Amino acid sequence: MVNFSLVTLNKKNIADFAKERNILLGKSKSDWVLFLDSDEKLSKELIKEISDLDASGYSGFFIKRKIIFLGREIGEDVVLRLGRRNSGKWKRRVHETWNIKGKTGRLKNYIIHHTADNLHEYIEKINRYSDIHAEENMREGKRSNILKIIFYPKAKFIQNLFQGRGFVFSMLQSFHSFLGWSKQWELQRKSN
């Protein structure tokens, strides 16, 4: 049985998601921490699976996440969200990852991720995240160029479409890629 704290990242206008997650991680008193975003919830089956989990020898667990877009399930991804409190830190300001040291496993049940209830909300999210993404790429020493601005969005569209995520979601993910690389291009020009 795993003794865990459920931590929900529920703060407006976050500029550094890893920093906010690490603050919450530091405040936790439990041996294990399960992170959720404000647009996510646990399935009943996942709660039971975690409660009955034998985590001996593990430092963290990947969890499948059902993606709900505009009220419709469009696929799934896998995220590392359950981990021992002292096993690692979150990295990257946006599209953050939990760098856990040690053995990881994978749970069978799902987090349910409601990405957006309407297009307006999702486009605002894309615009905000692409700002942070461009700045983070600069900090990491990555460079934008015309080829990335043209071809990465096309690749993102094709990837999402082949994953069965639908035309609208695929197009919006492509737009996110275009905005991120274009905004970085502008930041690079200003810094020269």
Calculate the CA dihedral of residues 20, 23, 24, 27 and round it to 10 degrees: -170
The predicted model gives 174-184 an average pLDDT of: 98
pLDDT at residue 189, as a whole number: 94
> pLDDT tens-digit profile of 5-49?
888 888 888 899 999 999 999 999 999 999 999 899 999 999 999
Cβ atoms 53, 4 nearer than 8 A: no
The answer to whether residue 98 scores a pLDDT higher than 70 is yes
The predicted model gives 165-176 an average pLDDT of: 97
DSSP string for the chain = ---EEEEEE--TT-S-HHHHHHHHHHH--SSEEEEEETTEEE-HHHHHHHHT---TT-SEEEEEEEEEETTEEEEEEEEEEEEETTSEEEE-SSS-EEEE-S-EEEEEEEEEEEEESSHHHHHHHHHHHHHHHHHHHHHTT----HHHHHHHHHHHHHHHHHTT--HHHHHHHHHHHHHHHHHHHHHHHHH-
The answer to whether residue 187 scores a pLDDT higher than 80 is yes
pLDDT at residue 4, as a whole number: 82
**Hey, where are the domains in the chain?**
4-116, 119-191
> pLDDT tens-digit profile of 111-153?
999 999 999 999 999 999 999 999 999 999 999 999 999 999 9
> pLDDT tens-digit profile of 60-95?
999 999 999 999 999 999 999 999 999 999 999 999
* CATH 3.30.70.20 is right for the domain spanning 4-116: no
CA–CA gap between residue 52 and residue 171 (Å, rounded): 40
Determine what percent of the chain is predicted with pLDDT higher than 90: 90
Distance linking the first and last C-alpha atoms of the chain: 55
Q: Across the chain, which distance is largest between two alpha carbons, in Å?
A: 56
CA–CA gap between residue 22 and residue 183 (Å, rounded): 27
Beta bridge partners, 6, equal 34
User: Cα dihedral sign for 92, 58, 32, 81?
Assistant: positive
pTM: 0.88
Tokens 């936790």 appear where? Answer: 28
